[in-house]
């Protein structure tokens, strides 16, 4: 069986990478677009995991959440997703 690669390739629209490059140039913090995208992705994963944990907790303890679990789900925009949560 073939060994799975440690990395995967993704496509990012040019407009987004152009903006990332401008930020890198102005802030001089990240050494590359890849490092910026990696850090941003890790931050997004952290946010979404927290959101999922809050949803699970609200469903397990609906009385303690202050509002129904369905309200909490509707109020999370997921970073302006174009695909609604299911």
Nearest alpha carbon to residue 40 among 76, 68, 10, 73: 10
Assess whether pLDDT exceeds 70 at residue 39: yes
Q: What is the pLDDT of residues 10-29, one digit of tens each?
A: 999 999 999 999 999 999 99
Q: For residues 44 and 39, what is the distance between their CA atoms, to the nearest angstrom?
A: 9
The DSSP letter of residue 3 is P
2-11, 32-41, 48-57, 73-82: range with lowest mean pLDDT: 73-82
Structure confidence at residue 84 (pLDDT): 44
Domain boundaries, the chain: 14-75
Rounded to two decimals, the pTM is: 0.65
Assess whether pLDDT exceeds 60 at residue 6: yes
Arithmetic mean of pLDDT, 34-38 = 97
Assess whether pLDDT exceeds 80 at residue 68: no
Is residue 32 within 8 A of residue 24, CB to CB? The reply is yes
Structure confidence at residue 72 (pLDDT): 46
């Amino acid at each position: 069986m073939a060994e799975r690669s440690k990395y995967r390739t993704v496509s990012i629209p040019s407009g987004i990478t152009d903006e990332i490059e401008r930020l890198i140039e102005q802030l001089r913090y990240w050494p590359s677009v890849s490092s910026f995208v990696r850090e941003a992705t890790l931050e997004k994963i952290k946010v979404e995991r927290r959101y999922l944990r809050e949803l699970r907790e609200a469903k397990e303890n609906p009385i303690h959440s202050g509002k129904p679990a369905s309200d909490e789900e509707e109020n999370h925009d997921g970073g302006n997703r174009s695909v609604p949560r299911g």
